[in-house]
Structure 1
Amino acid sequence: MAREKFAQIYARAAERKGGDAALESLLTTPLTNEQLKQISDDRWLSAFSQKVFQSGMSWKVVRSKWPNFEEVFFGFDIEKMLLMPTDMWERKATDPAIIRHLGKVMTIPANAHMIHDAATEHGSFAAMVADWPASDIVSLWQYLKKHGQRLGGNTGPYTLRIMGKDTFIISQDVEAYLRQTGVIDGGRDTRKSLTATQEAFTAWQQESGRPLCQISQVIAFSSGDNRV
Structure 2
Amino acid sequence: MEHFSQTLARAAERKGGEQNLFSMVSAPASEQDLLAQPDDRCLAITTKIVFQSGFAWRVIDQKWPGFEQAFWQFDPNKLVLLDDSHIERLMNDTRIVRNGQKIKTVPLNAQFILDTAKAHGSFAQFVSQWPVEDITGLWLYLKKHGSRLGGNSASFVLRRMGKDTFVLSRDVTAHLIAQGVIDKPATSQTALKHVQQAFNTWQQQVGLPMTQLSQIIGLSVGNNERQV
Q: TM-score if structure 1 supplies the norm length?
A: 0.96
1:226 to partner: Cα distance: 4.5
1:29 aligns with 2:36: no
Gaps of 5+ in 2: none
- Count of paired positions: 226
Paired with 2:48 and 2:225, the residues of 1 have a C-alpha distance of 29
Deviation for aligned residue 1:189: 1.4
Report the more deviating stretch, 138-147 or 180-189: 180-189
What's 1:181 paired with?
179
Task: Give the whole-Å Cα distance in 2 for the aligned partners of 1:42 and 1:71.
Answer: 13
* One-letter code aligned to 1:83: L
Counterpart in the other structure of 1:126? 124
Asked whether the equivalents of residues 81 and 107 of structure 2 are also in contact (C-alpha less than 8 Å), the reply is no
Contact 1:16 1:227 in 2 (8 A): no
Amino acid at match of 2:152: N
- Name the Cα RMSD after superposition: 1.3
Letter in 1 for 2:122: S
Deviation of the 1:192 alpha carbon: 1.3
Q: 2 CA distance for matches of 1:197 and 1:225? A: 22
Aligned equivalent of 1:147: 145
| One of 59, 64, 70 as aligned partner of 1:61 | 59
Residue 117 (structure 2) pairs with residue 111 (structure 1):
no
One-letter code of the match for 2:9? Answer: A
Give the 5 Å matches for 1:73-222: 73-222=71-220
AA of the residue aligned to 1:123: G
Amino acid at match of 1:35: D
Unpaired runs of 5+ residues, structure 1, are none
The offset of 1:90, in angstroms, is 2.1
What do the CA deviations read for 1:134-172 (whole angstroms, capped 9, x no partner)? 000001100111011111111110121112110000100
Amino acid at match of 2:159: R
Say whether residues 1:52 and 2:50 are aligned partners: yes
Name whichever of 180-189 and 64-73 sits farther off: 180-189
Q: Alpha-carbon deviation of 1:99?
A: 1.0
SS in 1 for 2:221: coil
Structure 2 counterpart of 1:4, one-letter code: E
Cα distance in structure 2, aligned partners of 1:130 and 1:93? 35
CA contact 2:165–2:211 (8 Å) conserved in 1: yes
Aligned mate of 1:8, from 6, 10, 25: 6
Residue 94 of structure 1: CA displacement?
A: 1.7
Kindly provide the amino acid, as one letter, of the partner of residue 155 in structure 2.
P
The amino acid that maps onto 2:169 is: S
- Greater shift, 197-206 or 84-93, is seen at 84-93
CA distance in 1, matches of 2:91, 2:174: 38
CA contact (8 A) 1:166 1:213 kept: yes
2:146 partner amino acid: G
Superimposed CA distance per residue, residues 194-221 of structure 1 (whole angstroms, 9 cap, x where no aligned partner): 0010001011111111100000011111
